[in-house]
Every structure is written in structure tokens, then in C-alpha cells.
């Protein structure tokens, strides 16, 4: 396996892409850049004399948290996801795949340009209705897509994600020092870590997450995976995708809209726009779990909230889980 990074010589990229005939005639790589902060994978922008594109490669660990092992074949899941929906009406909302090398766990993709993810909604505390409606339409069409019968189970990555969503945040002693994130957060979190009834429900939803379903899901449908440029919206980073249950994507989406806007009724708006058949109570349970794990788990967000606001969000999350 060839590993690329930002320090790799331009000549190595040039030779690699030439051998695979991924470059245009007389196309030369001029620059190697970092397009943004990636969480799971190595992501590199390559600029040529004719265009630019994105090289994405997985490692046997989480790129942002390299002490956490992660399966290399997650890049294959991402490829299969894009391949499944490339002929759908929402194809315009995903990057085009220009090359895929199985042996090197590497994707070459269209460069979407100077896009920004939608994590700014945490600071603006609002989501424009048009953008939210588009995101609901996109996830609806993802859920109605029909992948091949051998769509990846993605078992290893799901097990890793399961630990960080449904298990670790609810352990009383998990090694996360929450007061280093914000003073008072440890005490605030402890009441949920000691809530046996709450944890039983969380465990049940977690088992469903690990079970095989019949709906194609994105698996990480949150503002870090939503990209915007001008009036266009793109959805990226589907490495957590699998055949599961639609309520998971909708619950995660709802959770982040709630955390951004501080409005616990946002799931009801999403329910009104989503056209598929869903268990609304399950969506709310997933939303509550996602809020708790984002506030007291390892995967923290750029969410500037007072301790009182986090207390409010955690209480709302418990209500959603207990419905």
C-alpha cells in the first residue's frame, strides 16, 4: 500500500495518477494543498495546470484521533455509497468519483471548490429553511435508493461508532475529563451516566444500530458532512454508511439542528417534510442520544454554549429519549 500525505513529492502523485490514466493529456500536478480539517481520513487537494481534484485515503486509525483504530475498508464503503446514488436525482449533491484504487484504499474525487461545511450553524444558531428543506429532500432520496445486494456491512466501523455513541458517553468512568472541556460539565453529565432507565433505552437503540436493516443510510448526517457553496448543498463523507434504519439519519440530523437552534421541536418540522414511513419516537430517541454523546463524549463539536445552555440541552435530550 502506498501512503500519501501533504509532504509526499509532487512527482509521486504525478506518477501514481499517470499509471492509472486518471490525468488528462499533458496534465501536470502543480501543487499539493490541505483542503480542510478531516476527521477520519487523509484528504489532499491536488492542483494541476487544467483543474483540481481531491485525493482521499484511509488509514488503519482515525486521522484526527490516531490512537483510535479504524478499518481500512471504510473507503470502499464510501465508494459504494457514491456509486449507488450517482444516477439518482440527488447525484448533483455529491462529488463525482474520478478514480478508485482498492489496493491503496484511495479515492480520487471531484474538487467541489471553496466549499464550507455547515458547522457555522452552531454559532449563528439558525438554519435557513431552504437549506434545511434541501437536506431533508436529499436524505429522503438516499433512503429510497436501491444499492446492490452485496452492499458493505461496514461491521467494524459500526462497532467503533456504536462504542462512541451508545456506550462510552454513558459510562461513569470512561477516561473523558469533561471539566477540561468546560468547568461543571462532569457533574452535569453524571446524572445521565447514573440513570439506569435511560441507559437501558440507549442500549436497546444501540442494538438496533448494530443490526442489519433494509434502508441505505448515510450514517453521519450532520453539519460536518453538509457542504455549501453559493446556493448549492453537497453531502460528503459517507464512510459510516450501511443498510440500517432511516430513523438513525433523521435522529442525528434532528439532534444537530436542535443543538444549533436550541429548539427541541425541530424534529416535528423534519417529520412534516420527510416523505418516508418512520417511527417518530425512534427518531427522537436517536436525537436525544446524539445530543448527549456530542455534549459529554469524545467527539466534541465547535459548540459555544454556556453550562446552563448545555444543562438545558441535556434535559431536552432525556425527554426525547424517554418519549
pLDDT in tens, 40-93: 889 999 999 999 999 999 999 888 778 888 888 999 999 999 999 988 888 999
Q: How far apart are CA 259 and CA 291, in angstroms?
A: 7
Q: How far apart are CA 24 and CA 110, in angstroms?
A: 14
Last residue of a domain, one of 110, 138, 161: 110
53 and 124 in a single domain? The answer is no
257 and 278 in a single domain? The answer is yes
pLDDT band at 244 (very low <50, low <70, confident <90, very high): very high
230 and 129 in a single domain? The answer is yes
Last residue of a domain, one of 110, 140, 166: 110
208 occurs within a structural domain: yes
CATH no. for residue 42? 3.30.200.20
pLDDT at position 133, please?
Answer: 96
Q: How far apart are CA 298 and CA 32, in angstroms?
A: 31
201 occurs within a structural domain: yes
- Mean pLDDT (the chain) is 94
pLDDT tens digits along 90-122: 899 999 999 999 999 999 999 998 889 999 999
Question: Has residue 127 got a pLDDT over 80?
Answer: yes
| Of residues 217 and 40, more confidently modeled | 217
242 and 299 in a single domain? The answer is yes
CA atoms within 13 A on the CB side of 320: 30
94 and 46 in a single domain? The answer is yes
237 and 307 in a single domain? The answer is yes
pLDDT tens digits along 139-195: 999 999 988 888 999 999 999 999 999 999 999 988 889 999 999 999 999 999 999
Question: Has residue 320 got a pLDDT over 80?
Answer: yes
pTM for this predicted structure: 0.94
1 occurs within a structural domain: no
76 and 160 in a single domain? The answer is no
60 occurs within a structural domain: yes
230 and 208 Cβ atoms separated by less than 8 Å: no
Question: Has residue 279 got a pLDDT over 90?
Answer: yes
What is the SS3 string spanning the chain?
A: CCCCCCCCCHHHHHHHHHHCCCCCCCCCEEEEECCCCCCCCEEEEEEECCCEEEEEECCCECCCCCCCECCCCHHHHHHHHHHHHCCCHHHHHCCCEEEEECCCCEEEEECCCCCEEHHHHHHHCCCCHHHHHHHHHHHHHHHCCCCCCCCCCCHHHHHHHHHHHHHHHHCCCCCCCHHHCCCCHHHHHHHHHCCHHHHHHHHHHHHHHHCCCCEEECCCCCHHHEEEECCEEEECCCCCCEEECHHHHHHHHHHHHHHHHCCCCHHHHHHHHCCCCCCHHHHHHHHHHHHHHHHHCCCCCCCCCCHHHHHHHHHHHHHHHHC
160 and 298 in a single domain? The answer is yes
pLDDT at position 61, please?
Answer: 87
274 and 132 Cβ atoms separated by less than 8 Å: no
pLDDT at position 63, please?
Answer: 81
3 occurs within a structural domain: no
Record the cell numbers describing residue 113, joined without a space.
471548490
4 occurs within a structural domain: no
182 and 264 in a single domain? The answer is yes
pLDDT at position 90, please?
Answer: 87
The DSSP bridge pattern shows strands 242-244 and 215-217 to be antiparallel
pLDDT at position 38, please?
Answer: 66
Q: What is the mean pLDDT of residues 275-285?
A: 96
172 occurs within a structural domain: yes
Last residue of a domain, one of 110, 133, 163: 110
Question: Has residue 39 got a pLDDT over 80?
Answer: no
Domain enclosing residue 50, as ranges: 10-110
Domain count, the chain: 2
pLDDT band at 231 (very low <50, low <70, confident <90, very high): confident
CATH no. for residue 209? 3.90.1200.10
127 and 251 in a single domain? The answer is yes
2 occurs within a structural domain: no
264 and 164 in a single domain? The answer is yes
100 and 121 in a single domain? The answer is no
Amino acid at each position: 500500500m502506498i501512503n500519501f500525505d501533504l509532504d509526499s513529492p509532487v512527482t509521486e502523485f504525478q506518477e501514481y495518477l499517470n499509471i492509472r490514466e486518471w490525468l488528462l493529456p499533458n496534465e501536470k500536478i502543480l501543487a499539493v494543498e490541505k483542503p480542510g480539517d478531516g476527521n477520519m481520513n487523509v484528504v489532499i487537494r491536488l492542483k494541476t495546470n487544467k483543474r483540481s481534484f481531491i485525493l482521499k485515503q484511509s488509514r488503519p486509525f482515525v486521522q484526527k484521533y490516531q490512537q483510535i483504530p479504524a478499518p481500512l475498508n471504510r473507503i470502499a464503503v464510501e465508494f459504494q455509497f457514491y456509486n449507488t446514488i450517482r444516477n439518482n436525482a440527488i447525484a448533483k449533491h455529491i462529488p463525482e468519483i474520478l478514480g478508485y484504487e482498492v489496493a491503496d484504499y484511495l479515492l480520487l474525487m471531484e474538487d467541489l471548490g471553496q466549499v464550507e461545511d455547515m458547522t457555522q450553524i452552531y454559532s449563528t444558531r439558525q438554519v435557513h429553511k431552504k437549506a434545511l428543506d434541501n437536506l431533508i429532500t436529499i436524505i429522503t432520496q438516499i433512503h429510497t435508493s436501491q444499492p446492490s445486494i452485496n452492499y458493505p456491512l461496514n461491521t467494524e466501523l459500526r462497532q467503533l461508532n456504536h462504542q462512541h455513541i451508545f456506550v462510552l458517553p454513558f459510562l461513569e468512568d470512561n477516561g473523558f475529563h469533561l471539566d477540561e472541556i468546560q468547568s461543571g460539565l462532569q457533574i452535569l453529565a453524571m446524572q445521565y451516566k447514573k440513570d439506569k432507565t435511560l441507559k437501558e433505552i440507549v442500549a436497546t437503540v444501540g442494538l438496533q444500530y448494530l443490526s442489519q436493516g433494509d434502508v441505505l443510510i448515510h450514517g453521519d448526517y450532520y453539519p460536518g458532512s453538509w457542504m455549501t457553496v453559493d446556493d448549492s448543498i453537497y453531502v460528503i463523507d459517507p464512510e459510516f454508511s450501511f443498510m440500517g434504519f432511516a430513523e438513525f439519519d433523521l435522529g442525528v440530523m434532528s439532534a444537530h439542528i436542535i443543538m444549533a437552534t436550541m429548539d427541541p421541536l425541530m424534529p416535528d418540522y423534519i417529520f412534516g417534510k420527510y416523505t418516508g414511513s418512520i417511527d417518530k419516537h425512534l427518531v427522537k430517541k436517536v436525537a436525544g442520544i446524539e445530543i448527549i454523546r456530542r455534549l459529554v463524549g469524545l467527539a466534541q463539536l465547535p459548540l459555544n454554549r454556556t453550562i446552563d445552555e448545555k444543562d438545558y440541552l441535556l434535559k431536552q435530550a432525556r425527554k426525547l429519549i424517554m418519549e
